[in-house]
Structure 1
Amino acid sequence: MSLARRHRDRILAAKTVASAPHGGVAAAPAAAPLPAAGAVNASPADRAAAQIALRYTHDLRRLKEIRSIDKKIEAKREILPEYRNWVAGILTADAGVGTSVAAEVLPTCMVWLIDTGAYAEALDLVPFMFKHRVDMPSRYQRDAATIVVEEIATAALKAQGAGASFPIAILDRVADLTSHLDIHDEVRAKLLKAIGVEQLQEAEDLPADVGMAALAAAVSTLNEAQRLHERVGVKDRIKRGLKLMAAITAAREKAIAEQNDGQGGPAA
């Protein structure tokens, strides 16, 4: 895509929002479709919205025809750059997304970014979505906060289950963005479990003299996950954290005892 095209897409997206009633994305009345992308009498903003809606409809159809999950993800990686400048324009205008078909583009891109592992980019869209109360397309059957927490937590737990780590900075950012929102306890427990697993792993790699505080934080996080959902599956990790803490405490006490013995015992 040329620099001129990227610039044009971004400006048209911003104009689409700016020209809409009440600051939303420009759209035809609810009973009427968007004008055709090449309609002679359509404004640049209307044409831009129609073009992005047409592209979006085509891409949804393409994805629906793909059966393999891996191939769907590959297709989403190919598709996403085509929306980057439209989304950037919407974010720049900072006035919501309106109600036309084009209004589904930003929340859908957020999900696709999560699906493709571009978690930081997905989270960059979240403050805007919360601020403007952007609805998810009905096919997702969940609100934006639930999707963000559950999908990223699920990805983290899957990686951890395979013996890999997951960026704790991403998990912490999800927690910070959603801590004030009302979501199901089971969903939040999954996020806390993922965070606790990473905290425990990091604590295990620390020297004993600094590891106690990190272990205590990990156990606290895992206990909160357990409190929210008793079947979240963290009991073994809590036991491991407590065992490691006990081992550090015992080692410290032994070292103190040996030091006292070497000095002839404590003063009378």
Structure 2
Amino acid sequence: MTPARRHRERIAAIVAAADPKLVVSSAEGGRTPLVPVARTPAMNHLERTAAAAIVAAPENSTSAESRVAAQIVLRLTHDLRRLKEIRSIDRKIDAKREMLPEYEAWVNAVIEADAGVGAGTAADVVPTYMVWLIDTGAFMAALDLVPFLLRHKVDMPKRYERDVPTIVVELIADAALKAQNAGECFVLDVLSRANDLTADLDIHDQVRAKLLKAIGIEQLRIAEDMDAADSAVGLETTLATLREAQRLNDRIGVRDRIKRADKLLAAVNAAAAPTDTSGTPAA
């Protein structure tokens, strides 16, 4: 039996023998809801210590540390079941926002240990946490986790059906395009960072094109707000971004913006052209 399998079975056994108050029969799937409690420094310290030990050296972890890990697994299982029962997208997001603090200490410790995410259901905590951060609009906090997940080749839970770079790019691009279609701005630094973190990775062209479209829209918005004399570089960058999105997906829907940026750049260049003493453009 491999160490990973022994670890999974040990965690499963602990979950099965967990505090009876957490698994008593009820009308809600046979389990009572886990009532959120105020986080204390002691709780955070206990979870940080347990996470670091379980991930870095599971075979040497103590029973107390394993019990904490089992509680995290139990909470994630319960929270996923709760989310599945919620129909409204807005209510799901609100629920995730409430759930996130319950995993923060564990996730921070796993990141600090820098030894991977462990095995079994416990391994799903960090990638799930990252997705929930994106879903709740905490984009930069989510992107802070990406280098760790990529470095340790962490798999996304099977329910997501995509790998880490694909889901990061697609979820952030979708959030940006949704805001932009509603006439709102989206933070360009978030989009640029998502692109930079995944630039050298193999992602479907259609997914990358969505992110580049969102980036190009914000670049065009910024260039249009600049003084004409200062906007040439921004417009050139915009055109490069939008044309790459168009190359990757001919149906991405950026043709009109390319035409607009081209027209603006031509006007800016014409206005900046040198003139002779008679006031006509120089040859």
Give the TM interval when normalised to the shorter protein. 0.7 to 0.9
Superposed, which structure 2 residues align to 1:72-87 within 5 Å?
Answer: 72-87=92-107
Gaps of 5+ in 1: 27-41
Q: CA deviation at 1:260?
A: 1.9
Task: Decide which of 238, 247, 255 is 1:218's aligned counterpart.
Answer: 238
Q: Which position in structure 2 is the counterpart of 1:6? A: 44
Q: CA deviation at 1:261?
A: 1.6
Question: Are the equivalent residues in 1 in contact too, given 2:50–2:66 (CA < 8 A)?
Answer: no
Is residue 2:215 matched to residue 1:195?
A: yes
Is residue 2:84 matched to residue 1:102?
A: no
Q: Which position in structure 1 is the counterpart of 2:33? A: none
Query: What CA deviation, in whole Å up to 9, does each residue of 1:17-56 have, x standing for no partner?
Result: 12225x9xx7xxxxxxxxxxxxxxx612211210100111
Question: Are the equivalent residues in 1 in contact too, given 2:54–2:118 (CA < 8 A)?
Answer: no
Q: Which position in structure 2 is the counterpart of 1:18? A: 56
Is residue 2:73 matched to residue 1:53?
A: yes
Number of equivalenced pairs: 244
Q: CA deviation at 1:247?
A: 1.1
Q: CA deviation at 1:6?
A: 1.5
Q: Partner amino acid for 1:83?
A: Y
Q: CA deviation at 1:199?
A: 0.6
Is residue 2:59 matched to residue 1:44?
A: no
Q: Which has the higher contact order (CA 8 A, sep 6+)?
A: 1
Gaps of 5+ in 2: 1-38
Distance in 2, Cα, partners of 1:250 & 1:176: 33
Distance in 2, Cα, partners of 1:246 & 1:239: 11
Is residue 2:277 matched to residue 1:260?
A: yes
Distance in 2, Cα, partners of 1:45 & 1:133: 25
Distance in 2, Cα, partners of 1:250 & 1:56: 60
Task: Decide which of 253, 261, 267 is 1:247's aligned counterpart.
Answer: 267
Q: CA deviation at 1:250?
A: 2.3
Distance in 1, Cα, partners of 2:240 & 2:145: 30
SS in 2 for 1:170: helix
SS in 1 for 2:278: helix
Is residue 2:184 matched to residue 1:147?
A: no
Distance in 1, Cα, partners of 2:135 & 2:281: 62
Task: Decide which of 78, 82, 101 is 1:62's aligned counterpart.
Answer: 82
Q: Partner amino acid for 1:62?
A: R
TM-score by length of 2: 0.83
Distance in 2, Cα, partners of 1:179 & 1:44: 42
Q: Partner amino acid for 1:10?
A: R
Question: Are the equivalent residues in 2 in contact too, given 1:19–1:45 (CA < 8 A)?
Answer: no
SS in 1 for 2:86: coil
Query: What CA deviation, in whole Å up to 9, does each residue of 1:242-262 have, x standing for no partner?
Result: 000111122223xx43x6226
Task: Decide which of 110, 113, 116 is 1:93's aligned counterpart.
Answer: 113
Question: Are the equivalent residues in 2 in contact too, given 1:91–1:128 (CA < 8 A)?
Answer: yes
Distance in 1, Cα, partners of 2:109 & 2:140: 19
Q: Partner amino acid for 2:49?
A: I
Q: Which position in structure 1 is the counterpart of 2:136? A: 116
TM-score by length of 1: 0.87
Q: Partner amino acid for 2:58?
A: A
